[in-house]
Amino acid sequence: PDHEPDHGVAVETSKPELKPPSRYKVVMLNDDYTPMDFVVEVLESFFSLNREAATQVMLKVHTEGRAVCGVYSRDIAETKAAQVNDYARECQHPLMCQIEREA
């Protein structure tokens, strides 16, 4: 015969997804009011940075206006930015994070 008979085994026929999912940067923005030690504490607790790395990121935001805190899947990046913004507001600081799709 030209081809084997159908034995009823299900075969995946959908088109394979070839592109990997986009990654998103969580970017922290400078402001004039949030205390430096609060920013360091936030970077340590929400982005798993040690004191030294958190201090470096905080100083980069302070001097350059913004810095990347981490790069994640879209869901994780959105959640981290929202958690930081909610926590900062709870503590009555204007500290802000936003997310940006990686180039």
Among 56, 62, 85, 98, binds ligand TYC (CB under 6 A): 62
Q: Output 28 or 77, the one with its CB closest to ligand TYC.
A: 28
**By the rule CB under 6 A, 98 interacts with ligand TYC:** no
Candidates 18-26, 44-52, 55-63, 82-90; binding stretch for ligand TYC (CB under 6 A) = 55-63
CA distance 32 to 41: 17
CB of 23 to ligand TYC, least distance (A): 21
32-58: b or e for each residue (b if 16 or more CB lie within 10 Å)? Answer: eebeeebbbbbbbebbebeeeebbebb
Do 85 and 46 touch, CB atoms closer than 8 A? no
Segment interacting with ligand TYC, rule: CB under 6 A, options 1-9, 11-19, 23-31, 69-77:
23-31
Per the CB < 8 A criterion, the answer to whether 93 and 33 are in contact is: yes
30 touches ligand TYC by CB under 6 A: yes
Q: Residue 66 phi/psi, 5° resolution?
A: -165, 160
Give the footprint of ligand TYC on this chain (CB under 6 A). 28-32, 34-36, 39, 58, 61-62, 95
